[in-house]
Structure 1
Amino acid sequence: MELRVLRYFLMIVQEKTISKASARLHVSQPTVSRQLKELEEELGTTLFTRGNRTIQLTPDGEYFANQARQILSLTDKTLTNIHQETDISGAIYVGSAEARSVLTVAQAIGHLNQQHPHVQIHLVSTDASDIHSQLTSGVFDFGVVMDPTDKSDYDFLRLPGESRWGLLVQNSSPLAQQATVSLDDVAQTRLILPQQGGSARIHAVFGLTQEDLNVAATYNLLYNASLLVSAGVGNALGLDGIVNTNQSDLTFVPLAPRTSSGSSLVWLKGQRLSAAAQALLAQVRAELTPTEN
């Protein structure tokens, strides 16, 4: 299986027709069709269902497309990091939860960029489960995860600062008039919950079980959850400082008693980091080291 064929396949996935994919690839349509047929024969499965105008992925095709993206992402990253100049260069992939403490990593990236402008950072907002998967597969170099998270597979640095939990509500909600919300308020409202860690995480942080809650929806990015709140789906349980509620129809009401979560920068134990990734890790450590006056 050649990487070139994987790129052909993903272009077909993107364009949904072989003719458009061929034009984008600057390759003849018969060549692309033949390569797709040979790929399906090699895999022993059908990747597409052919319609009158477009083609759709089969379940096997959906799975293979996801794997192909990871393979090509890892390949491109590896080639970039191998073909380095005298100055440190290369690509670094960081999967990150949404949290104020990401600012420390952002500051490290800014200082690294000043020293090594040929290093390129790819920051992907996602959850702990995907971070673990992408670190294990070698796509991500680092992750930023919220506590509590099982870090037995990781080396890690705790990041400074904590984010406070609360409810994101509509301004018209009676809860928006309160200075804080209680766990009883949380239990009595229709909730939009973070996907990260699921019910086990909610129980670990708040002591609430699935049976205690009225769950309307879940999310992995709080900005998207804020749109659900605006649409009246429910109130989003999340961390402060992520969604800017100024001049919006939303209010963040903190939980009382105060409940906060910290975060950590993680990477796989035993993972051999590229020169660029080592440089970023050193810069994060420098950000965490107090300067002497």
Structure 2
Amino acid sequence: MELRVLNYFLTVVNAKNISRAARQLHVSQPTVSRQLQALEDELGVPLFERGSREIQLTSDGLYLANQARQIMALVDKTVTNIHQTKTISGTVLIGCGESQMMTTVGQTINTLKHEHPGIQVNLFSTDGNTATERLQTGVFDFAIVMTPLMDQRYHFLRLPGASRWGLLLPNSSPLARQTTISAAELTKIDLITPQQNGINELFENWLGHTTDDFHVISTYNLLYNASILVNAGVGAALCLDNIINTSHTGLTFVPLAPPIDSKASLVWLKGRPLSEAAIAFLNQLKTNVEDH
């Protein structure tokens, strides 16, 4: 499977029309059609639904499109990092969740933009599960996770600070007038909970028993959408503090008692060489952590 053919395929997927894709690629429509047919023949599965006016993907086509985007992103990042000048330049891609501990990362990026203006640090907001999956495939250089990775495949660097767990509630809720929320109260309300691995274990340790008593109505991977559900009256979001600014929102954050805190770590794969740009970022981050 050639990268050129994958590029043809993704261009057609994005354009939703072979003729339009051919114009973007500056090739003839028959050329694109032949390449797509050859790709289907090579894979042995249909990638497109035939007969519709706009391009529609089969389930195999959807899977290939997702994988192809990751492959092309990895290729682009690799080429950028190799084709650099004598000064350190290139891109660093970090998969990260929502956390106030990102402050140290922000300070690092601010320093790098002055010392190594050729380095661009790109953040991809996602949950910890997706971040580590894409770290393993090489799409991300680093991932920032909220729960410790008890995995020998990774190096990790603990970031300064901690965030406290609590509930994001509508102001109309009686619980919003409390200073804390107990474990017993937590089991009596509809909850919107995080999706990432390790959350159940975290709260089972806090409760001293399983989370089977939790009444989970919905789950989320990023808190902003969960806050909209809270506003809509779906339930209360179990989350970390200082992620959603509740000022003038009709929402209130109330911490749990006894307190339960989480820390964040930057992780990267052992045995995989880092680009010079990624090494420069990591070294500067280590300095900022040590100075904190």
What TM-score does the superposition give when structure 1 sets the normalisation length? 0.94
State the secondary structure of the residue aligned to 1:149.
coil
Q: Which residue does the alignment assign to 1:25?
A: 25
Displacement of 1:179? 1.1
CA distance in 1, matches of 2:10, 2:205: 41
- 1:207-244 deviations in Å (ceiling 9; x for gaps): 45342111111000011111111111111000011111
CA distance in 2, matches of 1:267, 1:204: 27
Distance 1:212 1:283, change over 3 A: same
Displacement of 1:77? 0.6
- 1:102-137 deviations in Å (ceiling 9; x for gaps): 111111111011111111111011122212211111
- 1:135-190 deviations in Å (ceiling 9; x for gaps): 11111111111124324321111111000000001111111111111112211111
Aligned residues: 291
State the secondary structure of the residue aligned to 1:93.
strand
Would you say 1:162 and 2:157 are equivalent positions? no
2:281 maps to amino acid: L
Displacement of 1:205? 5.1
State the secondary structure of the residue aligned to 1:212.
coil
State the secondary structure of the residue aligned to 1:46.
coil
Distance 1:117 1:244, change over 3 A: same
Would you say 1:232 and 2:233 are equivalent positions? yes
What are the equivalent positions in structure 2 for 1:202-221 lying under 5 Å apart?
202-204=203-205, 206-207=207-208, 209-221=210-222
Segments of structure 1 that go 5 or more residues without pairing to the other structure are none
Distance 1:272 1:31, change over 3 A: same
Displacement of 1:271? 1.8
What TM-score does the superposition give when structure 2 sets the normalisation length? 0.95
State the secondary structure of the residue aligned to 1:217.
strand
Displacement of 1:16? 2.1
1:240 maps to amino acid: D
Displacement of 1:75? 0.6
1:184 maps to amino acid: A
What are the equivalent positions in structure 2 for 1:174-253 lying under 5 Å apart?
174-197=174-197, 199-204=200-205, 206-207=207-208, 209-253=210-254
**Percent identity of equivalent pairs:** 55
Would you say 1:101 and 2:110 are equivalent positions? no
Q: Which residue does the alignment assign to 1:256?
A: 257
Distance 1:185 1:148, change over 3 A: farther
What are the equivalent positions in structure 2 for 1:1-293 lying under 5 Å apart?
1-197=1-197, 199-204=200-205, 206-207=207-208, 209-290=210-291
CA distance in 2, matches of 1:196, 1:206: 18
Task: Indicate if the aligned counterparts of 2:148 and 2:265 stay in contact, CA closer than 8 A.
Answer: no
After TM superposition, the structure 1 stretch with the greater mean CA deviation from structure 2, 213-222 or 48-57, is: 48-57
CA distance in 2, matches of 1:151, 1:101: 22
CA RMSD of aligned residues (A): 1.6
CA distance in 2, matches of 1:176, 1:256: 14
Task: Indicate if the aligned counterparts of 1:148 and 1:201 stay in contact, CA closer than 8 A.
Answer: no
Segments of structure 2 that go 5 or more residues without pairing to the other structure are none
CA distance in 2, matches of 1:286, 1:70: 31
CA distance in 2, matches of 1:284, 1:255: 31
Task: Indicate if the aligned counterparts of 2:159 and 2:265 stay in contact, CA closer than 8 A.
Answer: yes
- 1:235-267 deviations in Å (ceiling 9; x for gaps): 100001111111102111111111110011111
1:212 maps to amino acid: D
Distance 1:210 1:80, change over 3 A: same
